[in-house]
Chain A
Amino acid sequence: MDYAVYVKDLWVSIGGREILKGVNLEVPRNVVFAVMGPSGSGKSTLLRTLNRILDLYEGVSVRGRVVVEGIDVYDSRTDPPAVRRLVGMVFQMPNPIPNLSIYDNVALGPKINKLVRSRKELDELVRWALEKAYLWNEVEDRLDAPASKLSGGQQQRLCIARALAMKPRVLMMDEPTSNLDAVATAEIEKLIIELKRDVTVILVTHNSFQASRVADHVAFMYDGQILEVGPTGRVFTRPAHKLTERYITGKFG
């Protein structure tokens, strides 16, 4: 059972409503794993379950087993912050800390979690993350400006940089290019493929072409369940499920 992420019979309800209905998932290490599916099918909720961000919501109940990098995520002895340090997250809506500077948004995690030993090391880490997120050139002369001053697409890349700076083992990205132009999107896709050397990437995307370009495996979610999962080539050429086929050919979603 040597997976980056292993999910067995996961049921999640919020306020009494079932959102995830028996999800099973096995994500090998060092791959890009795409999750596709129509709006409202539970993709974001699944991601929030994996790093226990779901704990922040009222009226949540989780049943089933989630193991990430060998940690039993919902075991009572598991410390949620420790899980979150391992599992980075880029949210669907860009969410920089608005009153912190561009620099501090990226530096905050490594600083508080003591991932660096000196200011110089931190500077280098921030620069590295911003370069990887293809944002450095646009912000290098105003690192002290508040993050809220950035454009939507820049904020999205800032959030990618922020997650990267934590050097997570698993990186979850929820539609990370939804606000980006073609050039920036291509750069982020390049980054995603490059990242797989060191981390496991779980990518939620609505874009079939993006999934076929970067993903090794694709899962298709529908109404709180994973209908189909497999190697990207196979799922795109010979989908086992009618709904998958209709979704990837753009007939609904």
Chain B
Amino acid sequence: MRASTKRTADLFALNSLFNAVLILSVALVVAVLLLESLPMIYRDGIGPLVTSVWNPAREEYGFLFALGGTLVTASLALLLSLALSVGSAVMYAEFVPPSLRPVVRNLMDLAASMPSVIYGLWGLRVLSPFLRNHLMEPLSALGLSGILGTPSPAGTSLLSASILLAIMVTPFASAIIRERLLAVPQHVREALYSLGLTKPEVVLIELRYIRRSVLTAMAVSFSRAVGETAAVAMVVGNTVNPNFFRVFSPGYTISSLIADQYPNAEAYYYMAPALFYAALVMFAIGLAVNLALLRYGETR
């Protein structure tokens, strides 16, 4: 009794230690971001958040276009991956015969572990031209370019980045949902079927039963989509696009802006602080959305 109490206490202490280290390192990251961005915050306040000018020659850095690009691509990717991951998880749990499941699971794991540069190459050479030829050009021809923008010759665009992101985050989100769906107790499933419900009706109720895990999966998706850099930088077009909601046009996201611009930062006074400022904002968005989704999940 004594010993086990002591052990619990030890474990508790260890756990607290880990948490403390975790919080400390996050605090450290935030501190560095904040410190490095201070010159820019001091000079322009929230100006960079609400203006879209990127003119290093005049030391003008308003990164609203990138902030908007991040929000637009991550949100679109979130919506798409919600459909893709729920759909694929349901297919897996309800329709793939158990004998085939290991194969499908390995394929999904492979997709999850592929380096993002490979997604980027595929996005650049296959996805973007395909979307340009079969989606963006036809819709533009119908007169939608006024609202949705004009595609670039290569098809690199905010839309391409969004779809690529959705494909990239889906294996992770799908795995979370799939495992929880498989863990719905058999007796609950039997109860549902015994009421004469059809398979789709049962699946809908099961999804409601695991909705917290769906939200967790979405939180994971959003963070990854916001932070993803290499692949996005390759397909988003890296163009200052103040009309970031025109998703057929090329644009920037915060992460691709940093990757693309930081190498030049040495040559200017305020570019590095501006990029750190942007990174700080990106970090805050990811954190806020995560907390909001998880908090929302707890109340349901």
Contact = CB atoms under 8 A, between A and B. Distances in A.
Interface in A63-81: 80-81
Contact of A85 (B98, B186, B196): B196
B119 to A, nearest CB: 36
A84 B190 contact: no
Nearest to B212: A99
A85 B189 CA distance: 15
A56 B190 contact: yes
Contact of A84 (B195, B208, B209): B195
A51 interface: yes
B188 A97 contact: yes
B5 interface: no
A98 B205 CA distance: 12
Contacts of B195: 84-85, 108-109, 112-113, 162, 166
Contacts of B197: 81, 109, 112-113
B201 interface: yes
B191 A88 contact: no
Contacts of B191: 91, 95-97, 159, 162
B189 A81 contact: no
A108 B188 CA distance: 13
Contacts of A113: 195-197
Nearest to B98: A58
A116 interface: no
Contacts of B192: 97
Contacts of B262: none
Interface string A92-109: 010111110000000011
A109 B218 CA distance: 30
B198 interface: yes
Interface residues of B, number: 18
A138 B197 CA distance: 28
A42 B186 CA distance: 19
Given A58-B98, A97-B205, A99-B208, A84 B193 contact: yes
Contacts of B189: 56
Contact of B194 (A82, A89, A98): A89
Interface of B, helix, strand, loop or mixed by DSSP: helix
Interface string B188-226: 111111111110010001001100000000000000000
Contacts of A159: 191
Give the interface centre of A53, A93, A95, A98 by most chain B CB atoms within 10 Å.
A95
Contacts of A109: 195-197
Given A112-B197, A112-B201, A91 B188 contact: no
Given A58-B98, A81-B198, A91-B187, A99 B209 contact: yes
Give the interface centre of A97, A109, A166 by most chain B CB atoms within 10 Å.
A97
A202 to B, nearest CB: 14
B190 A91 contact: yes
Contacts of A96: 191
B188 A95 contact: yes
Nearest to A111: B195
Given A99-B209, A112-B195, A53 B188 contact: no
Nearest to A93: B187
Interface string B86-118: 000000000000100000000000000000000
A24 B197 CA distance: 29
Contacts of B198: 81
Interface of A: 51, 53, 56, 58, 80-82, 84-85, 88-89, 91, 93, 95-99, 108-109, 112-113, 159, 162-163, 166
25 contacts: A53-B194, A56-B189, A56-B190, A80-B193, A81-B193, A81-B198, A84-B193, A84-B194, A85-B195, A85-B196, A88-B194, A91-B187, A95-B187, A95-B188, A95-B191, A97-B188, A98-B209, A108-B195, A109-B196, A112-B201, A113-B195, A113-B196, A113-B197, A166-B195, A166-B196
10 interchain residue pairs of minimum CB distance: A85-B196, A109-B195, A95-B187, A84-B196, A89-B194, A95-B191, A81-B196, A81-B198, A99-B209, A113-B196
Given A82-B196, A91-B191, 12 more contacts: A53-B190, A53-B194, A81-B197, A81-B198, A84-B194, A85-B195, A91-B194, A98-B209, A99-B209, A109-B195, A113-B195, A162-B195
